Amino acid sequence: MVETPGEGVIGTIDGRTVVVGGVAFVATQAGETGPDHEVVVAGSVVVSLALDGQLMGHIVMADALRSGTAELLTGLRRLGIARILLATGERRAVAEAVTAGLRLDGVHADLTPDQKVLLVLTERKHGPVMMVGDGVNDAPALAVADIGVAMGARGAAASAEAADVVLLVDHLDRLLQGIEVAQRSRRIALESVAAGISLSILGMVAAALGYLTPVQGAIVQEVIDVAVIVNALRALGIVPKQG
């Protein structure tokens, strides 16, 4: 096998010469012209195949959006996520083709891992940053984000280790459900803290004014603690509406 870096490879299989690589490279080897314009899709990569000097066909490879991405973005906006960006190491043409029609606040392409980290740090001026990724190149950015979320089903182990949260299924709608559960759990926690502190202060004031004996005060405090715990247990019954 002979490899031409950045162009393609030429090899022999069962006595037949096979050429695989870029369109121009394979066309030159096969004495053919490039593919018709219909074959070349915006944002795609075309790999050509020739057998014994004859062009056999083209393989068009293109990135596709994960299923449910548009719905995910709409749901994130509904939950209060104000700014959504795409950070990718892909070429800008690919990134723009894949994200066409999506309501993104920015598309950053051709990024190296350290540039993704810089983007996360820069975006902190707008508020806390949540980073979602699944590749090895996403791991550093996941680690420095305020909340790193890794797609663990088919993602790289490095990204899962660097993230704060790992989605064990390859469904983006679980992110919406997780955010909703977190928001509602936080509200319940704040309610419990506020109610517990307020009732405890009222109890201390009543005891200071002589309306409660020490024993009664202790009993009232225990009742307050139990009430706060029971209220906090409501979080176990949260059923997300999203997704």
CATH 3.40.50.1000 corresponds to the domain 69-176:
yes
Q: Percent of the chain having pLDDT more than 70?
A: 92
Give 109-168 pLDDT, tens digit per residue. 889 999 999 999 999 998 999 999 888 889 999 999 999 999 876 667 888 888 898 888
pLDDT of residue 23: 81
Token couple for 191: 């309610």
Spell out the domain ranges in the chain. 2-62, 69-176, 183-237
Token couple for 185: 């759990």
Domain 2-62: give its CATH architecture: 3-Layer(aba) Sandwich (3.40)
CA distance 214 to 208: 10
- pTM score > 0.85 for this model? no
Averaged pLDDT for residues 208-228: 92
pLDDT of residue 243: 52
pLDDT of residue 44: 67
* Closest by CA position to 130, among listed 90, 175, 89, 160: 175
Which region among 33-37, 99-103, 104-108 has the lowest average model confidence (pLDDT)? 33-37
Average pLDDT, rounded, for the chain: 86
Give 28-66 pLDDT, tens digit per residue. 888 776 555 444 555 567 888 999 988 888 888 776 777
Token couple for 12: 């022999």
Q: How many CB atoms lie within 10 A of CB 25?
A: 19
**DSSP-assigned letters across all residues of 136-147:** GGGHHHHHHSSE
> Does this chain's domain 2-62 share its CATH topology with 69-176?
no
Q: Is the pLDDT of residue 202 over 90?
A: yes
CA distance 188 to 172: 25
Q: Name 215's Cβ contacts closer than 8 Å, sequence gap at least 6.
A: none
Q: How many CB atoms lie within 10 A of CB 107?
A: 15
pLDDT of residue 33: 62
